[in-house]
């Protein structure tokens, strides 16, 4: 199978998986809780980025710099979700501090690799920070039983 065919199929799958949560969110717009708004905005941004990425890929243009910006936007919105979610339980100042720290890391990645290459360092740092977010959320839920009846 041709590499271009596989690449095109992956682009279509990516766009579909961006549309699916958007459609679900639009149908349930009235019941979206305030802490889920950053994810809703992230879905819309992701869909726009997928469209731009498809255009650049179809045109044969380098689209790596798009991912440099999307990584920053993605981390910021996921961090804002955690800030809003944990605001009623404790002061999420630490998470607010991590957003500019990540911006510095993304800038250092830009200086090291430029915009035309993949953002290896920023993506790796983002992944590590998000893993810590998820582990903290899991630990917090187990320790404090935020939700009484999960199932």
| Token code pair at residue 56 | 């650049």
Q: What is the dihedral of CA 138, 143, 147, 148, to 10 degrees?
A: 140
Six token digits for residue 142:
């187990």
Give ∠ CA 45-28-55 in degrees, rounded to 5.
25
pTM, rounded to two decimals: 0.80
Question: What are the pLDDT tens digits along the chain (151 aa)?
Answer: 566 677 778 777 877 777 788 888 888 888 878 888 888 888 888 888 888 887 887 788 887 888 888 899 999 999 999 999 888 888 888 889 999 999 999 999 888 888 777 777 888 999 999 999 999 888 887 887 765 555 4
Please choose, from the candidates 52, 60, 70, the residue with its C-alpha nearest in 3D space to the C-alpha of residue 115.
Answer: 70
Tens digits of per-residue pLDDT, 23-67? 888 888 888 788 888 888 888 888 888 888 878 877 888 878 888
């Amino acid at each position: 199978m041709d590499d271009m065919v596989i690449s095109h199929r992956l682009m279509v799958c990516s766009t579909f998986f961006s549309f699916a949560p958007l459609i679900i969110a639009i149908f349930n717009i009235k019941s979206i809780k305030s802490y889920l708004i950053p994810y809703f905005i992230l879905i819309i941004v992701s869909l726009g980025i997928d469209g731009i990425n498809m255009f650049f890929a179809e045109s044969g243009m380098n689209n790596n710099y798009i991912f440099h910006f999307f990584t920053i936007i993605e981390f910021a919105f996921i961090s804002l979700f955690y800030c809003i979610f944990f605001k009623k339980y404790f002061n999420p100042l630490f998470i607010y501090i991590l957003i500019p720290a990540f911006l510095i890391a993304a800038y250092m990645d830009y200086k090291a690799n430029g915009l035309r290459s993949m953002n290896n360092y920023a993506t790796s740092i983002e992944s590590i920070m998000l893993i810590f977010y998820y582990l903290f959320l899991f630990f917090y839920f187990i320790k404090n039983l935020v939700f009484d009846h999960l199932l």
